[in-house]
Amino acid sequence: MACESEKWVLMVTAQTPTNIAVIKYWGKRDESLILPINDSISVTLDPEHLCTTTTVAVSPSFDQDRMWLNGKEISLSGGRYQRCLREIRSRASDVEDEKKGIKITKKDWENLHVHIASYNNFPTAAGLASSAAGFACLVFSLAKLMNVKEDQGKLSAIARQGSGSACRSLYGGFVKWIMGKHDDGSDSIAVQLADEKHWDDLVIVIAVVSSRQKETSSTSGMRESVETSMLIKHRAKEVVPKRIVDMEEAIKNRDFPSFAHLACADSNQFHAVCLDTCPPIFYMNDTIIGCVEKWNRSEESPQVAYTFDAGPNAVLIARNRKVAASLLQRLLFHFPPSSDADLSSYVIGDKSILQDVGVTDLKDIEALPPPPEIKDAQKYKGDVSYFICTKPGKGPVLLSDKNQALLSPETGLPK
């Protein structure tokens, strides 16, 4: 390792989005390699509103690999972190920084340690796929630091070994995770179906119901479903393969009615599998489904799609901005904030939709009219913690601004 002093620190910072599956991943055929029993399709969410930022650093002065998540040091001893680190390290290439007088050879990487600092701009473990954005960012930033020359598909197969749905966060727009056939998982990769500009009318509203940690982890829930549910076998073999073809077609043609029908049906079947699991798993809070179903049926064609992951948060996809304003109006009518909330923290992300609804303060929410399609519309004050307004977004990016780094360039420790 040629360098003028042993004091140098070399680092890379990246930002990676989260994603929401519209054809769900549920069930593994290999637990340690994280190989799924069916393909899945997701929409990448705009990293401006939901993302992970990760800085990775290397220095000869580091004596072990260390990681800080949201400012707190965490252990890297878990198998998922170890696998991602090992897979990236084994593909490292020579790195040269002439200005700093640093030269790291492929062989050097085996003995160098890394520091990793990662920050999620949304609550970790609230069911908003923080581990998807997190592992995608870890793999993407380490690959840049270590000059890994693999394409994005190969990197997605590494991110998959950290968290299955992380492989889909390596691309923007609309993404398919191909389950693959090989036992070693080499063909279980993500591919981009269309970028975020392809269908930029869509508006996504997330109702965050609770930021508490969910009760059944996805890992154990999936295992129990695979072991005990009959429905999951029918779903994986008969239902999903056809839905994947139809969803790809709906996305290609920007066919919202088909997209909405498929996304809602698939979310509902995933939760039916959860109920078919022994003991049954309850993730979803169904009040919002009732509202959206009634509204969609009162219109000529569906205006909004809903999808629920392994948690109580509702992800609602509106066909355009005008519909998103009507949606937000309905949501704010049914779910007014608890008395101590303020509007600016109750609706976050793209707040401009609030102006379209004509809501500028909390009093405007109280004055909203009930949705015309619902008789005796009820209110569930305080049931929603907050709403995030967002849209389909771009994939991972490198951040070149040194101010955005989470580690100090002098010490390689958290700032």
- The binding site for ligand ADE (CB under 6 A) comprises 52, 69, 118, 120, 124, 130-131, 134-135, 138
Nearer to ligand ADE by Cβ, of 140 and 333: the residue is 140
Which residue number places its CB atom closest to ligand ADE? Answer: 134
The answer to whether 313 and 127 are in contact (CB under 8 A) is: yes
Q: Which DSSP string corresponds to 305-334?
A: EEEE-SSS-EEEEESSHHHHHHHHHHHHHH
Nearer to ligand ADE by Cβ, of 69 and 178: the residue is 69
- Structure-token pair, residue 391: 């849209």
Report the alpha-carbon distance of residue 92 to residue 88 in Å, rounded.
6
Nearer to ligand ADE by Cβ, of 131 and 161: the residue is 131
Min dist. Cβ of residue 167 to ligand ADE (A): 14
The answer to whether 209 and 312 are in contact (CB under 8 A) is: yes
Nearer to ligand ADE by Cβ, of 164 and 371: the residue is 164
Nearer to ligand ADE by Cβ, of 138 and 274: the residue is 138
Q: Which residues contact 116 (CB under 8 A, 6 or more apart)?
A: 54, 55, 56, 57, 65, 66, 67, 68, 76, 138, 141, 142
**What H or E segment, with its residue span, contains residue 52?**
strand 51-59
Min dist. Cβ of residue 22 to ligand ADE (A): 22
Min dist. Cβ of residue 360 to ligand ADE (A): 34
Min dist. Cβ of residue 134 to ligand ADE (A): 2
Min dist. Cβ of residue 118 to ligand ADE (A): 4
Exposed/middle/buried for residue 57 (C-beta within 10 Å: 0-12, 13-18, 19+): buried
Nearer to ligand ADE by Cβ, of 170 and 244: the residue is 170
| Phi-psi label, residue 10: left if phi above 0, alpha if psi -120 to 50, beta otherwise | beta
Q: Which residues contact 103 (CB under 8 A, 6 or more apart)?
A: 1, 2, 3, 94, 95, 96, 97
Min dist. Cβ of residue 56 to ligand ADE (A): 11
Nearer to ligand ADE by Cβ, of 232 and 406: the residue is 406
Report the alpha-carbon distance of residue 156 to residue 396 in Å, rounded.
12
Min dist. Cβ of residue 313 to ligand ADE (A): 16
